Amino acid sequence: MKISDYEYDERFLPINPAEMQQKGWDRADFVYVIGDAYVDHPSFGHAIISRMLELYGYKVAIISQPDWKDAESINIYGRPRLGFLVCAGNMDSMVNHYSVSKKRRATDAYTPGGEMGKRPDYATIVYCNLIRRKYKDVPIIIGGIEASLRRLAHYDYWSNKLKHSVLVDSQADILIYGMGERAIIEVAEALAAGIDVHDITYVQGTAYRTKEMPEIEDSIILPSYDALCADKINYAKSFKIQYENTDHYTAKILIEQYNNHCYVVQNPPAAPLTEAEMDRVYSLDYTRTYHPSYISKGGIPAISEIKFSLVSNRGCFGGCSFCALTFHQGRIIQTRSHKSIIKEAEQMIWDPEFKGYIHDVGGPTANFRHTACDKQKTHGACVNRQCLFPKPCPNLKVDHSDYLALLRKLRELPNVKKVFVRSGIRFDYLMADDDDTFFYELCKHHVSGQLKVAPEHVSDNVLMLMGKPQNKVFNAFREKYKMINDKLGMKQYMVPYLMSSHPGSTMKDAVVLAEYLRDLGYMPEQVQDFYPTPSTISTCMYYTGVDPRNMQPVYVPKSPHEKAMQRALIQYRNPKNYDLVYEALTIAKRTDLIGFEKHCLIRPRQISRKNGAKQSGYPEKNNFGNQKNANASRGSKNKKTIRNVHKKKQK
């Protein structure tokens, strides 16, 4: 595309040679190859990294979604002065491409017009190999979520095998893991000073390849790749060591061997950013939108939800087993100042497209605004102890006052009608707060009709493996939420996120969840099957069949049919799921739930067929609120479904 085809905006970094010429550059210091469209917004990793480099005086040119079938697609600027940067995008390219059932997704929210297929599978590896075909010796630095979570040997769900560190297969020189602001500047300054890329082995938050076994004091030698492939228990042991070395204050250097000719060395994580550093990152000259060349293609769908959202924190001490945040952002909470957030909001609220609603104020967990305890500020997170699981640590500081003060300030800004909290409330942390002020104001001012929470399951056996609180904690939260809304005279509902087929979930556990939903009179429209993504405890359980924390065996539902039955039990009232539910109840020896009694999930097969597989339908009300109203906001398709259900009931 030529500049004449769109309205050029000099505020953006160049995405083609013509734009680089407009800036008067003869050569770029770094060429940044990305798997996403170029969106200059701080919710996109490539925007932060490129703007940080710009702040330090480096010239960065962007190659967005190059044609991986054409080696020249990464050569449009020629050889960069210092090196190539490579990032697969805001998501792992395989998660971006495939559902948990390994079916190809129809759209890509990070591509112009939502078009699927503009990046390759395993994009980091493919892009790097393209570069290596053209330039054998140019430094390549990889980063982003895909590289970060694949930095050492890892189980790859899509190929169903153990894969090398992405450093080995990509032929990259340095891998930056985590958020990367500090590491990228340190690497850039070393390259600019003339240090050979192979000698940049000291930067925290990086990993690198070396041909010889490094002699490093106080390092940990992990089982070799061959040993991992030979015995899955070795992989579980290795994963545990990695998990225990994810904190800047306590982590050691990790070394992993590959076939006697290559070693991958992981340095300790970078230090958490200070509040001032966080403020600087989010104060850079972002345009806060996508490049104008994408307008004619329909824009970038992913911008719609985050354009009017505010990031207030990073990190998470929640410790959910199926989440990779511990490996990527760490457990130490990093926050921005109120002044920084308010300043960003004041820019946002005068945008012509702003309608008065700030969509979110949060991060991985919205209501975490400080370190879990004072000890973490100097000694880091505990290696063998979680902050919230299985019960809140006695040293845990539970305080919502700072977050509440921030929300109050945002509510008072001109043009602001409502400030929502959508990035997730950790309900067990909220329940541990003796002061209900935040809970009341959350319900009164910051819920968009429905509060989304993530109990994930109700079986304590499964919750234990998930790293989630016992079900009684969620029950107490649910009752308190209803009580507060009743006191406020508000009709607001709760939408629980549930997960099926997590390691440890037997058919009996799935039935327990179905009975729980029966008692609430609630059937979720969406259910998430457990997705084994790289670098999570749950994925390690899925692959090895043991919990790496204690090496105890774990039951793992793997067959597509069993997973379909577990998912169907959560949506047992859907007539399409009748046969699966019937089979599941039979396998679980719970045929007492097949019948006409009130406690039964489905009716006997013969009666069901006679009545056209008609089930009991959707209840008008339940403990989460009015089901009809709760679903009404989900679009015309859901409204049509609800009308059809009520017509059937009237008949």
Structure tokens at 195: 């240090």
Reported as a pLDDT band with limits 50, 70 and 90, residue 649 is very low
Instruction: Write down the pTM of the prediction.
Output: 0.91
- Say how far apart CA 316 and CA 390 lie, in whole Å: 16
Q: What mean pLDDT comes out for the span 311-324?
A: 96
| pLDDT at 634 exceeding the cut of 70 | no
In tens, the pLDDT along 471-498 reads 999 999 999 999 999 999 999 999 889 9
Amino acid symbol at 68? W
Whole-number Cα distances in Å, 311 to 269, 290, 342:
22, 18, 11
Q: How far apart are CA 32 and CA 53, in angstroms?
A: 11
Tell me: pLDDT of 647 over 90.
no
Region 438-444 average pLDDT? 98
Segments making up each domain of the chain, as ranges = 3-208, 482-626
pLDDT of residue 66: 97
CA-closest candidate to residue 220, choices 246, 200, 259, 183: 246
Element (H, E) at 237: helix 232-243
User: Which CATH fold would you assign to the domain 3-208?
Assistant: Rossmann fold (3.40.50)
**405: Cα separation from own chain's centroid:** 27
CA dist., res. 593 & res. 516, Å (int): 13
User: What is the per-residue pLDDT across 512-552, written as a single tens digit (0 to 9) for each?
Assistant: 999 999 998 888 877 899 999 999 999 999 999 999 999 99
Q: Is 106 exposed, middle or buried (0-12, 13-18, 19+ CB in 10 A)?
A: exposed
Q: Of the candidates 506, 498, 499, which has an alpha carbon nearest to the alpha carbon of residue 553? A: 506
Q: pLDDT class for 260, splitting at 50, 70, 90?
A: confident
Written as six digits, the tokens of 527 are 């259910």
Asked if residue 466 lies in contact with residue 511, where contact means CB atoms within 8 angstroms, the answer is no
Average pLDDT of the chain to the nearest whole number:
92
